[in-house]
Amino acid sequence: MQSKLMEIEMIKQQLTQLDQQRMQVNARLMDSDAALKTLKDLETGTGIVETFVPFGGGIFSKATFPETRQVLVNVGQDIAVEKTVAEAKTIIEQTIAGYEKMFTDLDSHIMMLQKHAELIYYSIEAASASKR
């Protein structure tokens, strides 16, 4: 019974870590969705585009800029390359699909661990009931 209680405790710790990962993925997903919306506005916009520009530390400023056909895309390791709006949109859509899959995978893993913990809990209850 002691080992089962330890296993439940380990599962609780794993669930906490997975929930934190899920929150991080969700934040990235929301950020990517906002980027996609801005890219769509750029793609279909006529004239000046209005958006918010991050200063860092959670501070943003409203900014307007003329219609543009090129954007800089971070391709990893602090390297940015110039892409057309359409190319950037494709990249961000792929990124969003990846984040959605990660989120779904994390949800599945969380549910699996919760079910496993329930089975352990029920086996502990059954063992306790049979001792009475």
Q: What is the CATH number of the domain that holds 51?
A: 1.10.287.370
> What does pLDDT average to over the chain?
90
pLDDT at 119: 94
What average pLDDT does the segment 6-21 reach?
A: 96
Question: What region does 58 belong to: left with phi over 0, alpha with psi -120 to 50, or beta?
Answer: left
Domain that holds residue 101: 2-13+21-131
The closest of 14, 37, 21, 30 to 104, measured between CA atoms, is 21
Examine the pLDDT at 36 and tell me if it is beyond 90: yes
Contact predicate 7/120, CB 8 Å: yes
- Give the number of domains in the chain: 1
Examine the pLDDT at 66 and tell me if it is beyond 90: no
pLDDT at 48: 75
Q: How far apart are CA 18 and CA 4, in angstroms?
A: 21
**66 vs 18, 48, 61, 70, 88, CA distance in Å?**
42, 4, 16, 12, 18
Within 1-132, strands assigned E span: 49-56, 59-65, 70-76, 79-84
pLDDT at 46: 67
What average pLDDT does the segment 79-84 reach?
A: 94
Contact predicate 116/11, CB 8 Å: yes
Kindly state the tokens that stand for 45. Answer: 């916009």
pLDDT at 120: 93
Q: How far apart are CA 83 and CA 94, in angstroms?
A: 15
